[in-house]
Amino acid sequence: MTHVPGHTTPLTDAELLAALDNLGSGGFGSTGSYVNQVYLGQKGSKQVRMKRGGQTITVPAGDKTLTTQQAKSLYLTDENLRNSWLQTLKKNGLPTDPIKARAVWDIAVDGASDWFATSNGTQKITPEQYLNWYAGGQKKKAPKPDLSRSVYEYTPEQIGADVDKLAQQVLGRTINDADKAASWYTDLTSAISKMASKGTVSQVKDVRNPKTGKLERITTQTPEFTKEQAASKIESTLKNVAPEDAERKKRSDFMSWMFGQIGGGN
């Protein structure tokens, strides 16, 4: 005959219901105190014979709780618990050598006990759960980017110098204070700065070489900004805002070329 601990006779229906209700608050034999106690999970089930009718039913065996000292000692005496713990450590990428494995068990027992005691037994956290939470938080990493971007450092001073240089080539003069105060100049330098911020996008893929069969890391770069693009933008803007200067420079260049040809012919 199987009895519930503390009972020497089969349970009545009322006693069974009371015992089952007691399982929700720590199990049979619960002391009601959770300080320095640690929850280790469910014990499983057990057979209980009903006094009325004599039938045998299966009921939960209750929660398995030990003192923290008992749990730490159990690690050294229970080979199944120890092997299960080593698998938990391995799954979380943690050391499994005997000294560190035992030390981590002791820490997890204390951590789970703190949850159990502080919540007055409502947070039934096993040492394994505590370790999984802790290790999961430690290993959490920022998402890996799909692409990388190299941004060209193009300072306002460099942009201004390039605009002035092209103004001499396209307009035949330098950029003056009136130009710099004009809205077109501000818009142009701002646009060039935004263009430069696009930089060059790189995408890395591992590709199997069909000839060698070896895995190769291929980096594909897509420039979204070049100095040539900036120069083209500056030149078109200068011609648009100062067409007379641009035309005069064009005629001057042509005359210089023509006289150079005539001089060269003599």
Question: Is the domain of 211 the same as that of 152?
Answer: yes
Based on the fold, state whether residues 204 and 187 are members of the same structural domain. Answer: yes
Residue 230 CA, chain-centre distance (Å), reads 37
Task: Tell whether 240 is covered by a domain.
Answer: yes
DSSP string of 35-75? TTEEEEEE--EEEEEBTTT--EEEEE--EEEEEHHHHHHHH
162 assigned to some structural domain: yes
**Measured distance CA(171)–CA(169) in Å, rounded:** 6
* Residues 174 and 239 grouped into a single domain: yes
Token duo for residue 248: 């005069």
What SS3 class is residue 214? Answer: coil
In this structure, is residue 133 part of a structural domain? yes
Beta strand 56-60 with 63-67 is unpaired
Do the domain assignments include residue 266?
A: no
- Burial (0-12, 13-18, 19+ Cβ within 10 Å), 182: middle
87 and 205: one domain?
A: no
Spatial contact of 135 and 55, defined as CB atoms under 8 Å apart? no
Distance of CA 221 to the CA centre of its chain: 25
Taking Cα atoms as reference points, which of 146, 149, 237, 135 lies closest to residue 189? 237
Cβ atoms of 223 and 152 closer than 8 Å? no
- The residue from 141, 162, 178 where one domain ends is 141
* Domain closes at, from 83, 118, 141: 141
Same domain for 152 and 130, yes or no, is no
Domain boundary among 141, 162, 184: 141
Cβ contacts of 143-147, under 8 Å, gap ≥ 24: 146/203, 147/201, 147/202, 147/203
What's residue 40's pLDDT?
A: 87
Tell me: do 197 and 98 sit in the same domain.
no
Q: What is the pLDDT of residue 132?
A: 86
Residue 265 placed within a domain: no
C-alpha dist (Å) from residue 196 to 145, 149, 192, 202: 21, 12, 6, 15
- Total structural domains in the chain? 2
Whether 169 and 116 map to the same domain: the answer is no
pLDDT averaged over 10-residue windows placed end to end, the chain, 266 residues: 43 44 38 79 60 58 79 93 91 88 92 90 90 70 72 90 95 94 95 91 88 88 89 95 93 86 64
How many angstroms separate the CA atoms of 206 and 143, rounded?
A: 19
Q: Are residues 213 and 243 in the same domain?
A: yes
**pLDDT at 140 (0 to 100):** 52
Neighbour count for residue 197 (Cβ, 10 Å): 13
Looking at the fold, whether 112 and 171 belong to one and the same domain comes out as no
User: DSSP assignment, residue 63?
Assistant: E
pLDDT at 206: 86
Task: Classify residue 218: in a domain, yes or no.
Answer: yes
Q: Which residue range is the domain that position 253 belongs to?
A: 148-260
Q: Are residues 119 and 6 in the same domain?
A: yes
Q: 137 and 11 in one domain?
A: yes
Give CA separation, 65 vs 34, 68, 95, in Å: 9, 9, 27
CA distance 38 to 46: 22
Residues 156 and 136 in one domain: no
